[in-house]
Amino acid sequence: MIDRRRLLAGAGGLAAIAVVPLPAAATPADAAAAITEAFGDDRPFTDGPIIIEAPALAETGNSVPITVRAERAMDAPDRITRMALFSENNPRAALFAVSFGPAAAEAAIATNIRLNGTQQIICVAETADGTLIRAIHEIRVVVSACTTLEAQF
Amino acid sequence: MRALAVLLLLAAPAQAEPVSGYDFLMPETQALQDDDFANPGLLWVDQGAALWAQEGCTGCHGDATGSMRGVGAHYPVWSDERDRIVTIDEQIDYCRTERLGLDPLPRGATDMTALDAYVMHQSRGLPVAVALDRPELTEAHARGEEYYYTPRGQLDLACADCHVTNEGMRLRGEVLSQGQANGFPIYRQLWQDIGSLDRMIRWCHESVRAAPPADDDPVWEDLELYLRARGNGLPVETPAVRR
Amino acid sequence: MFNTRIRVPETAAAGEAVEIRAMIMHPMDNGFTYSTQGTLIPVNIITDFTCRYLGEVVVQVRLEPGISANPIFTFSLRATESGPVEFEWIDQNGDVTTASADLTVT
């Protein structure tokens, strides 16, 4: 049987080959600042029909499938016009922002995001009458995007 | 044919049934591979399809969906004319240079990987069926196997130490698979990119801090033959998605 | 121009919600990765994606480096009449990639 330490050193992903400083992770405060930048700080958050769908446990932080969806009709006066996603632990808090135009059938979009480890994802949505809705979702990540960066050759 | 199969079985060292890397993935990653739109490897399959037309492969081979069906599943093969083992990449580049007068593509070039992915994709779902039916092939296979079982690098590990002895073991979130080659080129989430078998083998060398063989070392062909034949019977998955 | 894949159904009934998918080949270099030579790979991303149907916006997305390589978006539009569904991606240098498909509404 071969020595487990040696194996770990190997499959652990080459940290010794290129020793690189890891980027500083964002904090919940950075996420809050990014939210303020996008939506201002003069409106309270309310609860609302925003659903974040993502695997409870993601295999790799390099690509985590995520869907954000508002369960509210697009012809309602308080329909969702804009949504933005924020990370509490990535080097940059802002992940993406989406505006829904008149041709959208619903306020919903799916994509793949990078996550630097287990963390909370925050979705802020803005309605046509100016209210803000916030939803929070925790995602656990097996291998985070940023600790494997140096193994990308 | 049957007698040959029995002989081959007897000759091979006792080995576990081949299991695809797919079976070592979590469900979302499997779902991404199975998604005929969203599998990112299909971007390179599309690029390969465009090159197939642009570079003039159509002139001799016509529509690849018919003419290339099943071809990739048999590679590498022995070529009498060239008196050597020929991998699928080498066959493609041979047609490009000798028959179309194009400049050869370096190993790992994106266009090469795209053509490889396009040709291999035509065999998706068919069983890998590499023949070891002549001495040149069995000898090369034996050399490939020897390489596979030889420890190397600062960590002094053989391919087999990870992919045979420790199959299924978890290492910092990685799960060691059998290291099968039935999905190549693969879209690897770690790379956020497509990668040929060549790129994977280089990565595994780096992981034990060993230098990969020189580009012109014939052991590349021996090792590819060994790796692909190890997966005989597994379905071709190109483009597979891996962690 | 980068390679793209789009999925728009050929036909839809008036009033139907139609699923649309769009993907582009792009590394989305986030500025935190190093090359084999150990040099930092600078940020290189697609910054904007827009889908329009009959000239009207369906979705408009602002992308950050936290979007995975080869960005893909899935969303839906409300079919009203036959016409083009147009896609546009803009990278950080202002280079534009476009694609389009026709939707026939019955």
Nearest by CB: A110 against C53, C68, C74: C74
Q: Which CATH superfamily is domain C4-105 in?
A: Immunoglobulins (2.60.40.10)
How many residue pairs bridge chain B and chain C with CB atoms within 8 Å of each other?
Answer: 30
Nearest by CB: B38 against C28, C69, C72: C72
Residue-level pLDDT at A149: 38
DSSP B239: S
Is residue B158 within 8 Å of residue A28, measured between CB atoms?
no
**Whether C32 and A90 lie within 8 Å, measured CB to CB:** no
Amino acid at C7: R
Q: Given pLDDT bands bounded at 50, 70 and 90, which one contains residue C1?
A: confident
Report how far residue B69's alpha carbon sits from residue B58's, in angstroms, rounded to the nearest whole number: 14
Residue-level pLDDT at A28: 85
Contacts of B83 (CB under 8 A, 6+ apart): none
**Whether B37 and C21 lie within 8 Å, measured CB to CB:** yes
Domain-embedded: residue A82 = yes
DSSP B72: G
Contacts of A32 (CB under 8 A, 6+ apart): none
Q: E-assigned strands of B93-230?
A: 170-171, 174-175, 186-188, 193-195
Q: Given pLDDT bands bounded at 50, 70 and 90, which one contains residue A9?
A: low
C78 touches chain B (CB under 8 A): no
Contacts of B28 (CB under 8 A, 6+ apart): A55, A58, A59, A65
pLDDT at A137 over 90: yes
Residue-level pLDDT at B85: 97
Residue-level pLDDT at A2: 56
Residue-level pLDDT at B13: 47
C3 touches chain B (CB under 8 A): yes
Report how far residue A90's alpha carbon sits from residue A23's, in angstroms, rounded to the nearest whole number: 9
Residues spanned by the domain of B190: 2-9+18-242
Amino acid at A65: P
- Nearest-CA residue of chain B relative to C29? B192
Query: Which residues of chain B are at the A interface, by a Cβ-Cβ cutoff of 8 Å?
Result: 25-26, 28-29, 32, 155-157, 161-162, 165-166, 169, 171-174, 176, 189-192, 202-203, 206-209, 243
Short-list C25, A7, C96, CA closest to B163? A7
Nearest by CB: B162 against A1, A10, A143: A10
Best C16, C40, C59 residue to mutate vs chain A (most A CBs within 10 Å)? C59
Q: Could you report the per-residue pLDDT of B189-227, keeping only the tens digit for each?
A: 999 999 999 999 999 999 899 999 999 999 999 999 999
- Which CATH number is B167's domain given? 1.10.760.10
Best C20, C23, C97 residue to mutate vs chain B (most B CBs within 10 Å)? C23
SS3 string of chain A? CCCHHHHHHHHCCCCCCCCCCCCCCCCHHHHHHHHHHHHCCCCCEECCCEEEECCCEEEECCCEEEEEEECCCCCCCCCEEEEEEEECCCCCCEEEEEEECCCECCCEEEEEECCCCCEEEEEEEEECCCCEEEEEEEEEEEECCCCCHHHCC
Residues spanned by the domain of A141: 23-152
- The Cα of C93 is separated from the nearest Cα of chain B by a number of Å equal to 21
* Overall domain count for chain A: 1
Domain-embedded: residue A13 = no
C75 touches chain B (CB under 8 A): no
Q: Given pLDDT bands bounded at 50, 70 and 90, which one contains residue A3?
A: low
pLDDT at B172 over 90: no
Helix axes B110-121, B42-54, angle to 10 degrees: 100
Helix (H, G, I), strand (E, B) or coil at B73: helix
How many residue pairs bridge chain A and chain C with CB atoms within 8 Å of each other?
Answer: 111
**Whether C34 and A103 lie within 8 Å, measured CB to CB:** no
Round the CA-based radius of gyration of chain A to a whole number and report it.
Answer: 19
Residue-level pLDDT at B75: 98
Residue-level pLDDT at A5: 59
Average pLDDT value for residue range B18-42: 96
The complex's ipTM works out to 0.94
Q: Could you report the per-residue pLDDT of C87-99, keeping only the tens digit for each?
A: 999 999 999 999 9
Q: Given pLDDT bands bounded at 50, 70 and 90, which one contains residue B5?
A: very low
Report how far residue B129's alpha carbon sits from residue B150's, in angstroms, rounded to the nearest whole number: 26
Domain-embedded: residue A55 = yes
Is residue B50 within 8 Å of residue B57, measured between CB atoms?
no
pLDDT at A21 over 50: no
Report how far residue A33's alpha carbon sits from residue A25's, in angstroms, rounded to the nearest whole number: 14
Percent of chain A with pLDDT over 70: 78
The domain locations on chain C are 4-105
Q: What is B120-159 written as a DSSP string? A: HHTTTTSBP-----SHHHHHHHHHHHHHHHS-BTTTTB-H
DSSP B200: H
Report how far residue B17's alpha carbon sits from residue B10's, in angstroms, rounded to the nearest whole number: 15
Which position among B60, B159, B162, B204 bears the catalytic label?
B204
Round the CA-based radius of gyration of chain C to a whole number and report it.
Answer: 16
Average pLDDT value for residue range C11-25: 97
Domain-embedded: residue A133 = yes
Residue A124 has a CB neighbour count (10 Å cut-off) of 20
Report how far residue C7's alpha carbon sits from residue C21's, in angstroms, rounded to the nearest whole number: 5
Q: What pTM did the predictor assign?
A: 0.92
Q: Could you report the per-residue pLDDT of A93-136, keeping only the tens digit for each?
A: 999 999 999 999 999 999 999 999 889 999 999 999 999 999 99
